[in-house]
């Protein structure tokens, strides 16, 4: 079946939205700082060390550790390998991305007053990429067996339609597909719009043709279904940090970050379903969904680093919640093939309408990070970070909204507090530095499987040319997660084994 291209000819402002869910709440949570090559080489275990521009994004007191003004820029090559499993059928996909990972500078001002305990202050501004959404994968399988009926995409449209009046999910006489889709969405909302797609494509059959009919059946008979699902996404989370750091006496470093966050996420999915079940009027379905999400937000961080001795350092950082404002646009396309009198008939429902939903708020949870580091003079160091973030505190706002309140309850019941452990080390041989690290991130889900634990390691090296430093790192991480195809009806999940590999190169220099 040939998929037709979308042509946008209209814009629809939706008065209500029932689209955000726990998956969006977790997806738009700010990720971890991707960072400089040195930062990545230690797997991000930098909370008690400082002296690195990405460390400033982790602990704002890090800027005060710099002895001189400094700047750096980082490029990264990401390779993502996905292996999917859907009803015992496995597929593989691989994609690569090249991006600017980090850029920024810190300006150090030393005190000229020998009687003052304030030794220096530091001002810093830095950009950090915190999450990369670029991803492509494909899954396929047979839903159902000879012993058990499978789950069809028809269940998605049925779940949205049941209880809705027929005259509120169908076109008026003389209305085009675009006009009907727009008017139904504007007047009645998202669920009615989905029901309209199912009805106009002949997937849904009303029990009666009366306007007040509220019961529907499927024109796709029970049995087995061959299904294919394509997923393609692009985008990123990023933040710009405005930092103030200060050194008090010889042992205490303090810092504050004011962060501006922004996100862009674009996703396209296409489900193809085919069946030859006895009694099926509709034998093929192609359903495309596209979403564009843009967001902006604010957060702050407070941190300190304390030198217990010349060798031992201790750091604590508080990350406030991130208060995000998010906008979303969606487009849809549906086509079916039905059998009439022994002839296959193609039915295309192509609204060519952009749904623009009202802005909504998302508040991510706060995070606490505790860090320890032991520095072996000029020879090397070992560092450990522990952080904790309670994902169940994620909230859609306004909380007074009935739908958002229900989603917040789902979040509270399914997400939990998760810890992240990071350890890293560095050994210096004259101007050459050898580095390595390991990290472990607990699943944010109570069941531990919807998104599994993450494990990763890193290896890197750096060379100090004097006023210029060049660092190179390779790191890899693995995680298994379940991707639910739709939020209702066809809720079967594809299991995805993800292997991320990064090569990161940083250039740093004194100002």
Cα 464 to Cα 42, 102, 431, distances in angstroms: 17, 19, 5
Kindly write down the DSSP assignment for every residue of 89-136, as one continuous string. EEEEEEEEEEEEEEEEEEEEEE---TT-SEEEEEEEEEEEEEEE--EE
Domains in the chain: how many in total? 1
Read off the CATH number of the domain in which 323 is found. 2.40.160.60
What is residue 379's predicted lDDT score, i.e. its pLDDT? Answer: 92
Nearest to 66 by CA among 9, 119, 27: 119
Helix (H) or strand (E) holding 41: helix 37-41
What is residue 312's predicted lDDT score, i.e. its pLDDT? Answer: 96
Residue 213 resides in a domain: no
Which segments in the chain show pLDDT lower than 70?
1-19, 30
- Looking at the whole model, is its pTM more than 0.85? yes
Nearest to 387 by CA among 45, 1, 98: 45
Residue 480's domain comprises 10-152+220-510
What is residue 176's predicted lDDT score, i.e. its pLDDT? Answer: 96
Kindly write down the DSSP assignment for every residue of 167-180, as one continuous string. GGSSPPTT--HHHH
d(CA 168, CA 195): 9
Ramachandran angles phi, psi of 400, nearest 5°:
-75, -20
d(CA 184, CA 349): 14
- Is residue 68 exposed (0-12), middle (13-18) or buried (19+ Cβ within 10 Å)? exposed
Residue 210 resides in a domain: no
Residue 104 resides in a domain: yes
What is residue 511's predicted lDDT score, i.e. its pLDDT? Answer: 87
Q: How many CA atoms lie within 13 A of 15 on its CB side?
A: 9
d(CA 337, CA 339): 7
What is residue 6's predicted lDDT score, i.e. its pLDDT? Answer: 40
Residue 162 resides in a domain: no
Residue 168 resides in a domain: no
Residue 232 resides in a domain: yes
Residue 352 resides in a domain: yes
What is residue 166's predicted lDDT score, i.e. its pLDDT? Answer: 97
Give Cβ neighbours of residue 409 (< 8 Å, ≥ 6 apart): none
Residue 158 resides in a domain: no
What is residue 19's predicted lDDT score, i.e. its pLDDT? Answer: 67
Kindly write down the DSSP assignment for every residue of 48-83, as one continuous string. TT--SHHHHHH-GGGGGG-SS-EEEEEEEEEEEEEE
d(CA 172, CA 179): 9
- Interval 127-158: pLDDT, tens: 999 999 999 999 999 999 988 999 999 999 99
**Cα 137 from chain centroid (whole Å):** 15
């Amino acid at each position: 079946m040939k998929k037709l291209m979308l042509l946008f000819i209209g814009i629809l402002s939706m008065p209500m939205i029932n689209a955000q869910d726990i998956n969006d709440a977790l997806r738009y949570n700010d990720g971890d700082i991707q960072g400089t090559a040195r930062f990545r080489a230690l797997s991000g275990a930098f909370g008690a060390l400082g002296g690195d521009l990405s460390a400033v994004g982790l602990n704002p007191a890090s800027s005060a550790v710099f002895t001189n003004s400094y700047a750096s820029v980082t490029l990264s090559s990401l390779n993502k390998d996905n292996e999917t499993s859907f009803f015992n059928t496995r597929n593989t996909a691989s994609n690569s991305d090249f991006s600017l990972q980090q850029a920024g500078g810190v300006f150090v001002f030393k005190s000229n007053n020998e009687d003052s305990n304030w030794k220096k202050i530091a001002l810093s501004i830095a950009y950090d990429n915190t999450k990369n959404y670029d991803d492509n994968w494909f899954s396929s399988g047979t839903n159902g067996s000879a012993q058990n009926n499978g789950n069809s995409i028809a269940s998605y449209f049925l779940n949205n339609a049941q209880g809705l009046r027929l005259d509120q999910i169908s076109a008026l006489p003389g209305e085009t597909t675009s006009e009907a889709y727009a008017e139904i969405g504007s007047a009645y909302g998202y669920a009615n719009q989905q029901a309209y797609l199912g009805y106009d494509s002949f997937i849904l059959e009303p029990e009666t043709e009366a306007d007040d009919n509220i019961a529907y059946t499927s024109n796709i008979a029970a049995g087995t279904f061959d299904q294919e699902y394509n997923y393609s996404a692009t985008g990123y989370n990023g933040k710009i940090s405005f930092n103030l750091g200060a050194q008090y006496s010889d042992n205490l470093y303090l810092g504050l970050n004011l962060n501006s966050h922004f996100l862009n996420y674009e996703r396209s999915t296409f489900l193809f379903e085919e069946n030859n079940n006895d009694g099926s009027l509709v034998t093929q379905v192609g359903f495309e969904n596209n979403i564009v999400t843009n967001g902006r937000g604010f957060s702050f961080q407070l941190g300190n680093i304390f030198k217990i001795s010349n060798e031992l350092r201790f750091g604590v950082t508080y990350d406030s919640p991130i208060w995000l404002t998010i906008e979303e646009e969606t487009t849809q396309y549906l086509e079916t093939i039905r059998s009439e009198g022994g002839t296959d008939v193609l039915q295309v429902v192509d609204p060519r309408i952009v749904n623009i939903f009202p802005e909504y708020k998302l508040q991510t949870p706060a995070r606490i990070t505790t860090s320890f580091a032991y520095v072996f003079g000029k020879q090397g160091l070992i560092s450990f970070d522990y952080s904790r973030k309670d994902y169940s505190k994620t909230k859609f706002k306004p909380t007074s909204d009935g739908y958002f309140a229900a989603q917040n309850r789902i979040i509270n019941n399914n997400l939990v507090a998760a810890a992240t452990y990071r350890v890293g080390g560095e050994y210096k041989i004259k101007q050459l530095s050898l580095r390595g690290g390991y990290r472990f991130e607990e699943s944010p889900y109570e069941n531990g499987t919807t998104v599994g634990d993450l494990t990763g390691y890193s290896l890197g090296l750096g060379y100090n040319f004097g006023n210029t430093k060049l660092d190179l790192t390779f790191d890899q991480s693995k995680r298994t997660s379940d991707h639910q195809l739709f939020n209702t009806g066809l809720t079967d999940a594809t299991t995805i084994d993800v292997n991320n590999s990064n090569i990161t190169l940083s250039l740093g220099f004194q100002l």
